[in-house]
A and B are shown apart, each in its own frame.
Chain A
């Protein structure tokens, strides 16, 4: 078990340390030295009124006196920090400990000015069991260049010692009925006694700070447990060592009794280690008078364009020249940045097509479905004139047209479609937050195959061979009170164990009903636990920032051995969705309808989308299932993270690393477990007017 922690911790450190080996000279957006041992702005345990840089994601881990905390925090807005935490707390039924999840919020009310301190307000553990629950108001001020002091008052857990009457008048702390956990609690906030707390940090040198605080946390639970520690003093002392803005170590002496160690790591999507990227330069524009004036056959133009675009990783599938227009159909499998890809296509077409071509109509073909998604029209002369101009991208955009492609499918020539494709690679499957073993995983080999019968029809499958792991050792049982559509996942892992199994095997039919209306039908073994028929229809006008979808499925539970057997358990689900890309960096999706277990309700998903492909999001599903029936966690919720690989490599690539952190798996609000690429909306909206405009800065990159 400890070996697994070591391996996974090392892996995390390696991923986050990508930035350590690149000196941060220009954009030092990360600041991990401002994190405390809760992964929030603060000194040791106490909060401070500082803020993290906008967009920073931090992972921190703390060990002291029997407590282990792993914190994931995110600077949601310039003034708002949020954190999710998983902690092992002394005192409880799992070998003398409790494993607990908690969420925090910290809001900066005022930034520090010459004579005014920074002021912040915060809530600790405001969703969940409330073991860490507490609220605070804190002010921080720098005194000279080396000294920083913070003082505040705390409620709840932060009012364990040195208490006095509530400054707001509410003397008794209102009771906290956590029920099954996982719900919001507001009634008790800022009630009961409060305590003062103080902290100070002194900068010894550029890397090191001496830190100290007078803590008001009584650690009642921890000090009552033999697994905990003895609280001998209110004072915590420590040293913060900033290895790099992305990496800070904290060593502490906690309450006169326990040695504490904390590691803080941060990454900021805004701060790419490769700045504008290291992809090879695009083909430069050669003015007409310098180009070959030799008249070429259409076939020769197509071949040359295909060759040059191929060098740039873009597949040219169709080309028609008519009345001053070159209409092309392309597949983009390399560029995450659509504007950059468009720029490269136009550069090459302006080199290969005759001078009488005045306009390029670029039609995007989706590689997976062969659907024509979007059409981008660019004026040749304006593109060429804007190439090296200071305001070139802005001038060019005024004449660019983006719309849904009128064509339906790329049918290709007889040999134009690559019918069969396969890959064999390792896979990893994880399950988090099981108190018996908080990090469970299985690694193995996965064979992915796909055969395209027709342009719009294919069969695809995933065959997995588990090799090593602990997912087959989950000791918990499914939840009760609702049909087990998801919470009995452990039976599948147990029965599959180390046997070969079918992860999915589906016949996929794509349809384009009009230029804005797309559909997908999947039939077969849709995922590990369900087989049946699923249909998705979406409406998306690429000129509009919103879209609509409908997802319907009639499924039957699969046998737990991952083979071809089906159980006599039938379910159906239908969900209507509204998608909205807000003008700022936020994307909202709201689903409503019937979920797999037959419950009715709604899911709201919100994510902050960075222009370079990074996404941080959260979702919550509330249905007509009472929290008591849903069980531990009360309702379905989670955090999503999407990281583009090209951010780490500086090279062109469309692949992503995805993670979903889901505290508890239940049956209420359950959906089919499909990957994002099975949802049409995101594939269509990638080529929308908004997405192209947001990145138009790269059209000449």
Chain B
């Protein structure tokens, strides 16, 4: 006798449905919370960077018919390609297929979106001025949102230093670059960014930049500089 209500309840759960897609997605999200707990995957929801072999050939690059950048985890085990969708006063916004966007100003990462602890905006010195100097001291402020949608700003004191000329290899191209190392320190955090500039210019070819206390670093390869259309 007690089994019957349980069976009916189970069928009710299985047959739950609606004519309204929004209601359906809301109910699924609610159910999803419990599923995620079971799978212990709540923090793995948005993994922008997919695990695959590191692409490193001209042939691979030729398949793209529009400008791309490649971002990668520092250990190069995971990466994603992004296409340019936004251009606002020379600031470029690149978007991944799963809805993450990264905005750069002359190679410096100034904003992320859809990346959990997003870099909402950045107060910074013009990159051309920094990259054309051999040594510079300056301030940077990273702006994030806390869980209550209020600003959480981290103020950094930075020093930038141009290092000796070196060669790097990107998708089978060997290029001479000037490495610019930026060291920034705040009361609680410290990061070291590295920018590889096309020798004698302020064009960033490759960089390793710190995003946020949670997301830490990722590498950016500005492959559009090497693409031919």
B-binding residues in A (CB < 8 A): 14, 17-18, 21-23, 25-27, 29, 268-287, 290, 313, 333-334, 337, 384-385, 387-392, 420-426, 443-445, 467-468, 498, 610-612, 645, 647-651, 653-655, 657, 694-695, 697-698, 700-701
* B147 close to A275 (CB less than 8 A): yes
| Stretch from B11-19, B49-57, B192-200 contacting the other chain | B11-19
B40 on the interface (CB 8 Å rule)?
A: yes
The residues of A that contact B29 with a CB separation of less than 8 Å are 645, 649, 651, 653, 655
Contacts of B110 in A (CB 8 A): 388
Residue contact A698 to B43, C-beta cutoff 8 Å:
no
B144 to chain A, nearest CB (A): 7
> At the interface, yes or no: B42 with Cβ under 8 Å from chain A?
yes
**A650 vs B87: C-alpha distance in the bound complex, in angstroms?**
27
Q: A426-B9, A467-B5, A655-B30 are in contact. Are A278 and B86 (CB under 8 A)?
A: no
CB-based contact B145/A697 at 8 Å: yes
Q: Chain B, 109-121, contact with A by CB distance < 8 Å: what is the 0/1 string?
A: 0110111111011
CA separation between A654 and B30, bound complex, in Å?
12
**Cβ 8 A contact of B19, one of A285, A313, A420, A425:** A420
Cβ of B127 within 8 Å of any chain A Cβ, yes or no, is: no
Q: How far is B91's CA from A283's CA once the two chains are assembled, in angstroms?
A: 14
Q: Is the CB of A390 within 8 A of B121?
A: yes
Q: From B101, which residue of chain A is reached at the shortest CB distance?
A: A281
Question: What chain A residues lie within 8 Å of B100 (beta carbons)?
Answer: 280-281
Residues of A within 8 A of B6 (CB): 468
Residues on B with beta carbons closer than 8 Å to the beta carbon of A27: 146-147
Report yes or no: A284 in contact with B88, Cβ–Cβ below 8 A. Answer: yes
Question: B18 to A443, Cβ gap below 8 A?
Answer: no
Residues of B within 8 Å of A389, CB to CB, are: 121
Is the beta-carbon distance between B147 and A22 smaller than 8 angstroms? no
* Distance, CA A270 to CA B142, complexed state (A): 20
Contact among A29, A425, A657 with B27 in the assembled complex (CB-CB below 8 Å): A425
- The answer to whether A384 and B88 touch across the interface, beta carbons within 8 angstroms, is yes
19 A-B contact pairs sorted by A residue (CB < 8 Å): A17-B37, A21-B42, A22-B42, A275-B116, A276-B118, A282-B101, A284-B88, A284-B93, A285-B86, A287-B87, A420-B19, A424-B12, A424-B17, A426-B12, A426-B13, A610-B148, A697-B151, A700-B120, A701-B145
* Contact across chains for A337 and B149 when beta carbons are under 8 A apart: yes
Partner of A276, one of B17, B25, B88, B117: B117
Known contacts A384-B88, A426-B9, A467-B8, A25 near B99 by CB under 8 Å: no
Q: Chain B interface secondary structure, helix, strand, loop or mixed? A: mixed
- Nearest CB of chain B from residue A443's CB, rounded to whole Å: 6
- The main secondary structure of chain A at its interface with chain B is loop
Could you tell me the distance between the alpha carbons of A17 and B88 in the complex, rounded to whole angstroms?
42
Q: Does B26 make an interface contact (CB < 8 A)?
A: yes
Shortest 3 CB-CB contacts between residues of A and residues of B: A284-B86, A280-B99, A272-B147
Q: Report if A276-B116 is in contact (Cβ < 8 Å); known contacts: A287-B88, A424-B17.
A: yes
Question: A279: which of B19, B114, B214 is its contact (CB, 8 Å)?
Answer: B114
Say whether A701 contacts B213, CB under 8 Å.
no
B22 and A334: CB pair below 8 A? yes
Q: How far is B97's CA from A9's CA once the two chains are assembled, in angstroms?
A: 41
B166 at the interface (CB under 8 A from A): no
**In the complex the two chains form, what is the Cα distance from A697 to B121 in whole Å?**
11
State A647–B6 Cα separation when bound (angstroms): 31
Given contacts A22-B42, A270-B147, A390-B143, 7 further A-B contacts (CB under 8 A): A18-B42, A284-B95, A313-B22, A388-B121, A424-B16, A425-B16, A647-B147
CB distance from A350 to the nearest CB of B (A): 10
Asked whether B45 lies within 8 Å of A650 as measured between CB atoms, the reply is: yes
Q: Is the CB of A468 within 8 A of B9?
A: yes
User: Contacts of A269 on B, CB cut-off 8 Å?
Assistant: 147-148
Give the chain B neighbours of A275 by CB distance below 8 A: 116-118, 144-147, 214
The reply to whether A468 and B5 contact each other, CB–CB distance below 8 Å, is: yes
CB proximity of B127 to chain A, nearest CB, Å: 13
> Is A26's CB under 8 angstroms from B214's CB?
yes
Nearest opposing residue in chain B for A387, CB measure: B88
In the assembled complex, B122 has its CB within 8 A of some CB on chain A: yes
A274 pairs with B88, CB closer than 8 A: no
Closest Cβ of chain A: how far from B92's Cβ, in Å?
9
- Contact status B213-A25, CB under 8 Å: yes
- Answer whether residue B58 sits at the interface, using C-beta atoms and an 8 A cutoff: no
| Structural contact, A612 and B46, CB atoms closer than 8 A | no
**Contact A392:B121 (CB < 8 A) given known A14-B37, A280-B114, A426-B12:** yes
B165 at the interface (CB under 8 A from A): no
**A650-B45, A698-B145 known; A282+B113 contact, CB < 8 A:** yes
Name the residue on A nearest B18 (C-beta). A423
Say yes or no: is B23 at the interface (Cβ < 8 Å to chain A): yes
Contact indicator B18/A424 (Cβ below 8 Å): yes
C-alpha gap A425/B122 in the complex (Å): 46
> Given A18-B33, A281-B114, A388 and B88 touching (CB < 8 A)?
yes
- CB-CB under 8 A from B33, the residues of chain A are 18, 645, 648-649
Residue of B nearest to A466 (CB): B5
Assembled-state Cα–Cα distance A267/B218 (Å) = 31
Question: Chain B residue with minimal CB distance to A585?
Answer: B148
Please determine whether A284 and B46 come into contact, CB atoms closer than 8 angstroms: no
Q: How far is the CB of A365 from chain B (nearest CB, A)?
A: 14
CB-contacts of B183-229 with A (<8 A): 213-214
Interface residue B103 (Cβ < 8 Å from any Cβ of A) = yes
**Cβ-based interface call for B129 (8 A):** no
Q: Answer whether residue B141 sits at the interface, using C-beta atoms and an 8 A cutoff.
A: yes
Determine if A650 and B116 form an interchain contact, defined as CB atoms under 8 angstroms apart.
yes
* Interchain CB contact under 8 A, B87 and A695: no
Q: Which residues of A contact B114 (CB under 8 A)?
A: 277-281
Any A CB within 8 A of the CB of B20: yes
Shortest beta-carbon distance, A118 to chain B, in Å? 24
Query: For B147, what are the chain A residues with a Cβ–Cβ distance below 8 Å?
Result: 27, 29, 268-272, 275, 612, 647
User: What residues of chain B lie closer than 8 Å to A18, measured between beta carbons?
Assistant: 33, 37, 42
- In the docked arrangement, what's the CA distance between A421 and B89, Å? 46
B74 contacts chain A at the CB level, 8 A cutoff: no
Tell me the smallest distance from the CB of A407 to a CB of chain B, in Å.
23
Most buried by B among A278, A334, A498: A278
**Chain B residues with CB below 8 A from A268, complex form:** 147
Q: Does B85 contact A (CB under 8 A)?
A: yes
Quick one: closest A residue to B102, CB to CB?
A: A281
Task: Tell me whether A423 and B12 are in contact (CB under 8 A).
Answer: no
- CB–CB A698/B121 < 8 A: no
Q: Which residues of B contact A25 (CB under 8 A)?
A: 213-214
| Chain B residues within an 8 Å CB radius of A274 | 45, 116
B77 at the interface (CB under 8 A from A): no
**A97 CB, min distance to chain B CBs, angstroms:** 27
Q: How far is the CB of B106 from chain A (nearest CB, A)?
A: 13
A524 to chain B, nearest CB (A): 22
Q: How far is the CA of A610 from the CA of B148 in the complex (A)?
A: 7
Cβ B16 vs Cβ A426 within 8 A:
yes
B34 at interface, CB cutoff 8 A: yes
